[in-house]
Amino acid sequence: MKKCILAILFFSLTQAFYAQSSKEILVLSAVVKDKVIPGAQVIFQKNGEQSIPLVTNQSGKVTIPAEYQDETNLTIIIKKEGYSTLVSKCPCGGLTYAISPVMEELDGMRIVLSWGSSPNDLDSHLSYEGGYVCYYKKDASQANLDVDDTDSYGPETITITKKIQGKKYVYAVHNFTDKDNGNNNRLSTISRAKVYVYIGNTLVRTFTPPANTKGTVWIPFLIDENGNLVDVNEFKNASSWEGVKSILSDYRFDAANFVVDQASAQESARLNQLGERAYHNDNLEGSVYYYQQAIEANPRNGQAYSNLGLSFQKLDYEAEALWANRKAIDLAEGQRANVIKASSYYNIAKIYEGKGQWNNALNNFKLAKQHNANPAYDKGIARVSAKIRS
């Protein structure tokens, strides 16, 4: 992947320019290579203690407050107008964080990889029928590699400009530095890698590799045919981008077989209740945070996704609401499964209708009616059908 004398010289110059202490944080753009973000608010937060808000300087850097430099139970929140808010758990000193500009496309998604100083070269890969994106093939149908980084920290950013319905996408991180040594665990143990997934205005999921796992290819998640994120979190081995492509093209994962232990399920239920409490107290942003934490604990918590979709709708975060409602449909089960599916399809239809996307709206109104009878669904079908005929 482009290793030569000039690359080594560029690496040295870049490292010198961005050199930072282990107690500093650097904030960059996720979509413009090496673009620093001055004036970003970085909030340092610990449970039960007062938050400390700071602002990045002209070099895009901020120093962790002295009282928080042990980083125990520390969370950082990075905000900047025009960018999605990033929330991440520490340790975070010495790392680079890339924030994503708000996405306007309803069916878009942005995947941002960041990591520490070693290994110096991690690569993002995205595979789907008819398309493949990585450093070797940066552009594909409705998806592209915005930023490719080879000198530690990241970001590596892939943007799906429009998810193609009915197609499955598989995302992976490849340890290019150690590609010829499959019997190593550097990606899982020392890389400090994190993958951030953005939809619309919001960071919807964060993935970290399982500890002490050997392999050069980490597959954190896939996106199923309906646009749902499905946790995978498995490791494979490959020594080239073609090898990664071969793994991903044949990769299959049955979400129904995903097992959640009892402790994680209970923690997810507790966090979901905190989200409901925040929602009923008109703290919508707080409710989103708790619902997302509930999903982190149990990715099959359908109720948390349903609640999350409602909060997103109240916040006018349409792309995020689409995603959450689709996931609620995917996970709906039990006696109320059809009611949940119908209401979620209806919510999706209303979003498309508001955007003037009449055919998408009509299809979802019809799906709502298939799952449950409701006069609102009939009215929606008639209303949108009239728009299509006019």
pLDDT in tens, 214-258: 999 999 999 988 888 889 899 999 888 988 988 887 664 444 456
Structural contact between residues 239 and 180, judged by C-beta atoms closer than 8 angstroms: yes
Structural contact between residues 178 and 216, judged by C-beta atoms closer than 8 angstroms: yes
CB count within 10 Å of CB 390 equals 6
Q: Identify the band that residue 113 occupies on the pLDDT scale cut at 50, 70 and 90.
A: very high
pLDDT at 158: 94
Structural contact between residues 381 and 368, judged by C-beta atoms closer than 8 angstroms: no
User: Per the structure block, which two tokens stand in for 113?
Assistant: 């990889």
Structural contact between residues 189 and 211, judged by C-beta atoms closer than 8 angstroms: yes
pLDDT at 378: 96
pLDDT score of 44 more than 90: yes
Residues 54, 12 share a domain: yes
Residues 194, 244 share a domain: yes
Q: Which of 351, 59, 52, 377 is nearest to 199 (CA)?
A: 351
Tell me how far CA of residue 254 lies from CA of 232, 251, 259, in angstroms: 9, 10, 11
Cis status, amide bond into 119, omega within 30 of 0: yes
pLDDT score of 6 more than 50: no
Tell me how far CA of residue 306 lies from CA of 178, 205, 326, in angstroms: 41, 15, 9
Tell me how far CA of residue 209 lies from CA of 21, 158, 195, 372, 386, in angstroms: 25, 18, 9, 40, 50
Q: Identify the band that residue 21 occupies on the pLDDT scale cut at 50, 70 and 90.
A: low
Residues 341, 251 share a domain: no
Residues 292, 148 share a domain: no
The answer to which of 13-27, 255-269, 288-302 has the lowest mean pLDDT is 13-27
Alpha helices in the chain (DSSP H): 5-18, 186-189, 241-249, 262-280, 284-297, 302-314, 318-331, 337-354, 358-371, 375-389
pLDDT at 258: 60
pLDDT at 89: 87
Query: What is the dihedral angle through the alpha carbons of 353, 200, 220, 255, rounded to the nearest 10 degrees?
Result: -20
> The domain containing residue 294 runs over which residues?
262-389
pLDDT at 4: 39
Which range among 54-63, 287-296, 338-347 has the greatest average pLDDT?
A: 54-63
Domain count, the chain: 2
Residues 270, 207 share a domain: no
- Percentage of the chain beyond pLDDT 70 is 92
Residues 271, 252 share a domain: no
Residues 32, 109 share a domain: yes
Residues 342, 301 share a domain: yes
Mean pLDDT, residues 322-331 taken together: 88
Average pLDDT, the chain: 87
pLDDT score of 320 more than 80: yes
pLDDT score of 14 more than 60: no
Residues 310, 244 share a domain: no
- Residue, of 166 and 217, whose pLDDT is higher: 217
Residues 326, 209 share a domain: no
User: Is beta strand 52-55 parallel, antiparallel or unpaired with respect to 61-63?
Assistant: unpaired
pLDDT score of 78 more than 80: yes
Q: Identify the band that residue 340 occupies on the pLDDT scale cut at 50, 70 and 90.
A: confident
**Which of the listed residues 232, 257, 282 is the one where a domain comes to its end?**
257
pLDDT score of 18 more than 80: no
pLDDT at 130: 82
pLDDT at 331: 87
pLDDT at 167: 87
Mean pLDDT, residues 358-367 taken together: 96
The 3-class SS string of 163-196 reads: CCCCCCEEEEEEECCCCCCCCCCHHHHCCCCEEE
Half-sphere exposure of 213 (CA within 13 A, CB side): 18
Type of residue at 245: K
